[in-house]
Structure 1
């Protein structure tokens, strides 16, 4: 079965060394999103990047960084993204969030034995 809907894609750019109450910030954000009932989130660890201060962070042996780029992608309905945005404002001190309208195409089988997924 295939379903389509309009949604918002958030991309949250932070650093691997960013923390919130002693815990890695990316872990806190994903756990918060799950607790808030957001449809899904994925964390990507970059192998190289730079940000506002133009310092290059890389996994290169010659310039091994302890603060690699982290990207969290979140896609959900606009009302759900609007609801969690203030919570993100509370925990992100330094970083970048981009937001764009997207169309979600969700594929699911009719198999009743599968684990249920969030509805878009």
Structure 2
């Protein structure tokens, strides 16, 4: 079972929805690499409107021609593990923004990979 509580580091990566890495969405490559690195978790959030260094506004509004919406990838783990992952972000992110924030994890408990540990309805028994 995965557990993480206390002081942690959050890395947030802002890129465009259409950004790619070897013909694959960049956000997917970042998530898969974070998973392969054994980080506690990663989530991708699609923005409805935003702009970056280009000062071009991207929006999901119906009349807009823009489809390259902003995407945020959020990863949280211990400072040591997140900092060890940063060189991979340097390799992947040509255009975008990468920020680090100290944070405190109140509760993070992952699923037990052993299905036998779950009860009849897939819930763990106390």
Same fold at TM > 0.5: yes
Match of 1:118 in 2: none
- Which residue does the alignment assign to 1:71? 72
Name stretches of at least 5 consecutive residues in structure 1 with no aligned partner.
116-120
**The residue matched to 1:12 in structure 2 has which SS?**
strand
1:20 Cα deviation after fit: 0.3
Q: Is the counterpart of residue 17 in structure 1 residue 18 in structure 2?
A: yes
**Residue-pair matches, total:** 113
Q: Gaps (5+ residues) in structure 2?
A: none
TM-score after normalising by structure 2? 0.82
RMSD: 2.2
1:86–1:44 CA distance, 2 compared to 1 (3 A): same
DSSP-derived class of the 1:71 partner? strand
Q: After superposition, where does 1:1-120 map in structure 2 within 5 Å?
A: 4-106=5-107, 108=109, 112-113=117-118
Tell me, what secondary structure is at the counterpart of 1:28?
helix
Query: If each structure's strand is expressed as a fraction of its own residues, which one has the higher value?
Result: 1
In 1: Cα distance, 2:97 partner to 2:89 partner: 11
Q: How far has the Cα of 1:3 moved from its partner?
A: 6.7
Normalising by structure 1, report the TM-score.
Answer: 0.86
Q: Distance in 1 between matches of 2:108 and 2:96?
A: 33
